Amino acid sequence: MKIMSLSCNGCGAPLDATSETRFITCQVCEARLQVVHEGTTVRTEDFVADEEVRALKLESVEEEVDELRTQLRLSEIDREWEVQRQEYMVAGESGEKMVPTYAGARVLAVSAFGLVFGGLICFLVGNLDFGLAAWGLAIVAWVCALINRASADRYEEARLRHRNRRRDVLREARKSAH
């Protein structure tokens, strides 16, 4: 039986092995090595026991499953939001659905002020009919502005709830990963 000189992969210490040797432990650093015989060459590789390999694979699979669970939960939250979002939409002038905005409420409020001012001018010049019509339209514009503002508030609150739910899922995933 021929004795071969090898080196430890971990610390470089000399190792003696025979042609029959399959595994060896370094006496200096206690590295567990596999002796690989390939034709006329012999080398060592780091050896990881089956239990360690299984543990590493299991940990990797568990991490992937956790990531998939997180992605699934985020997808569910996003689908729920898309359904809920449709409930908050308002109809535009031509019937298309759109997100309620604060800008729409502002435009209506400015229009109401303009109608009040126009009605006041009509009263001052003696045209009571136009003055009353302008003030009636101003009231309608104010009511629409308030409704639009309330719709925009509800939409924004729901959007923030959705964003916070996503943030909480991501935080929990980061926390469990550590």
Q: How far apart are CA 57 and CA 160, in angstroms?
A: 39
Global pTM?
0.57
Q: What is the pLDDT of residues 40-93, one digit of tens each?
A: 888 888 876 656 666 767 778 888 898 999 999 999 999 999 999 999 998 877
Please report, rounded to a whole number, the percentage of residues in the chain having pLDDT higher than 70: 94
CATH number of the 3-47 domain: 2.20.28.160
